[in-house]
Amino acid sequence: MPLRICILETDILRPELIDQYQGYGQMFQRLFSQQPIAAEFTVYNVVKGEYPSDDQTFDAYLVTGSKADSFGTDPWIQTLKTYLLNRYERGDKLLGVCFGHQLLALLLGGKSERASQGWGVGTHSYKLAAKAPWMSPVREELTLLISHQDQVTELPENATVIASSDFCPFAAYHINDQVLCFQGHPEFIHDYSRALLELRQEALGSQIYSKGVASLEQEHHGATVAEWMMRFVAHKPEAA
């Protein structure tokens, strides 16, 4: 039986990007379709108020990235927080990327805010700080495509850091066998990162923009993170 994953899409792409990339839900489906673990996906755009019906069940719920702030007060963000807290309390598995990573940290007792480090763009490398049975294939360090100016600055107290860097100390974490989150974007491809950099060139300033574009020469481990996520969802902890 393939895993059933609910993708809670928390953004609508800029008009210039929609034709080519559709949305983050589609980008994740393309990424996960290349993984060895079979899964089926249903996408709900929560900005538009779309959610699964009560009788639908999933093996995990994935919260995507967004141009919105995780600490924002938009009504759709408040609705999503209530929904996710309910899912967490039921024991459902939750996955978060970028905005989702920050929102789940915030929701479960941590802190997310505008980072004093400024914008992180392009390709970024992290040291791996923990090992777990679902972290296969094994890597010594992790490189991901990023685009964020907010960060998790305090983790929930029961969270374990997986990946960190000087720029982003809490770049990935998990909470037991229930929550797994990454600041970087496994679903991004180099062309999408380049398009985002072009659109944000003015806001970023020439130095950050140029450095970000140059960093896109590096490969990234999005496929590895996708496999970790699916193994995390499929993983059944051994009874104590």
Domains defined for the chain, CATH in brackets: 3-234 (3.40.50.880)
**pLDDT digits 0-9 by tens, 173-228:** 999 999 999 999 999 888 888 888 888 877 787 888 888 778 788 889 999 999 99
Q: Which of 187, 220, 221, 227 is catalytic?
A: 187
Q: Check residue 197 and give its pLDDT.
A: 85
- pLDDT band for 238, please (50, 70, 90 cuts): low
Q: Which two tokens stand for residue 234?
A: 């499929």
d(CA 232, CA 135): 8
DSSP-derived secondary structure for 17-77: HHHHH--HHHHHHHHHTTSSS-EEEEEEEGGGT----TT---SEEEE---SS-TT---HHH
Q: Is the pLDDT of residue 56 over 70?
A: yes
Q: Check residue 240 and give its pLDDT.
A: 39
Is residue 233 within 8 A of residue 95, CB to CB? The reply is yes
Q: What is the mean pLDDT of residues 117-127?
A: 86
Active site residue 187: yes
Q: Which of 6, 98, 168, 181 is catalytic?
A: 98
Q: Which of 101, 174, 185, 221 is catalytic?
A: 185
Active site residue 190: no
Active site residue 217: no
**pLDDT digits 0-9 by tens, 73-106:** 999 999 999 999 999 999 999 999 999 999 999 9
